[in-house]
Structure 1
């Protein structure tokens, strides 16, 4: 809430805060609702806090939040999103993909979780761009095969 208060002090307007996240099978309330409750308990302005509670992944976080922003007639080119530091890059890609031209702020990740978090993000990025990675791998294999064959005395032409 420090950031929102600083924005209010600087601009005279308290920013809209949209807390986005659905409810997993092991969760008692949607993530968006839990984050909103936390923010309100720590001084956020109730009239500027909204909870998006249907999203199940980062793409939906951005897409559903954009719907809320559009409904409220809030400029899609101004604003920030906040997520884990390791997740900021991929989240920014989804934001731009759905038409939100905003930047992200990453929150610090606990050291013990970093290896797992970065591996998860790497796999997610690979999965998001399957065709490009498949083409790259095939080109690498082709060049390697040609180098191997030429290196072992086979003439191609």
Structure 2
């Protein structure tokens, strides 16, 4: 019985890897994890089936598989629990977290974030948005600049937009934006601004919302709210699996 489970899961992982490669190409290295996981599961299943694996090794593989599965389910359940939060109106600021830029155009994930931010800013004209994201090695412009230009095209008032174009990770998105808003609030509001807790909404895809909000709560004194943008349904398992590792990593390094 265990060998059948390993074989089917291995084929499923390899099939999903091929599907991702055909659907979006090689825009990200993470899907290789699905290929490696699938190959490992298939090999384990074959070794059990051909009785080339000792009972002790078989039990160890089963235990490791169950541990990984339970860990992923628990973390993903926490991530999913904040994906559909109600939207808080009249926030002081939005922080729109950057994502991959394809040349000078937003990737689909980034476009979803832009669309959600634009909708909110038009409905709440008193809110301003920090567009946070630097320029990666394969990107023609910074993520912040890409978001800025696309939001202007969608009719958002440029006075509502602030660029933060140095960050290269979610943690830096929050840290650099925190410093920027602290200076801006003190300059505009003085002592009163220093004492006031800003109401800030984190705008990102639903699968990324838990980590973005958790880092913001850890590293700032903001009142943190979440605004979850759409995600590509086919790629959602890939995004959630990647977030599992990102959450573990950020927890270990003290970002959460």
SS at match of 2:131: strand
- Unaligned runs of 5+ residues in structure 2 are 1-117, 186-192
Query: Which of 51, 73, 78 pairs up with 2:199?
Result: 78
Is residue 60 from structure 1 mapped to residue 169 from structure 2 by the alignment? Answer: no
Query: Which of 115, 121, 129 pairs up with 2:251?
Result: 129
TM-score using structure 2 length: 0.47
- Residue of structure 2 equivalent to 1:117: 239
Is residue 27 from structure 1 mapped to residue 139 from structure 2 by the alignment? Answer: yes
Question: How far apart are the structure 1 equivalents of 2:143 and 2:182?
Answer: 21
Question: How far apart are the structure 2 equivalents of 1:93 and 1:48?
Answer: 25
- Unaligned runs of 5+ residues in structure 1 are 9-13, 132-157
More relative contact order, 1 or 2 (CA 8 Å, 6+ apart) = 2
Answer yes or no: is the 8 Å Cα contact 1:52–1:64 preserved in 2: yes
Question: How far apart are the structure 1 equivalents of 2:147 and 2:168?
Answer: 15
SS at match of 2:163: strand
Give the C-alpha shift of residue 104 in structure 1.
1.4
Kindly provide the CA deviation profile for residues 100-128 of structure 1, in whole angstroms up to 9, marking residues without a partner as x.
33111111110111111001110111122
Question: How far apart are the structure 1 equivalents of 2:162 and 2:148?
Answer: 7
Kindly provide the CA deviation profile for residues 110-154 of structure 1, in whole angstroms up to 9, marking residues without a partner as x.
0111111001110111122349xxxxxxxxxxxxxxxxxxxxxxx
CA RMSD of aligned residues (A): 1.6
Answer yes or no: is the 8 Å Cα contact 1:95–1:101 preserved in 2: no
Aligned length: 126
TM-score using structure 1 length: 0.74
Question: How far apart are the structure 1 equivalents of 2:235 and 2:197?
Answer: 32
Kindly provide the CA deviation profile for residues 37-80 of structure 1, in whole angstroms up to 9, marking residues without a partner as x.
11111111112211110000000001111112112206543121
- Residue of structure 1 equivalent to 2:121: 4
Give the C-alpha shift of residue 4 in structure 1.
1.2
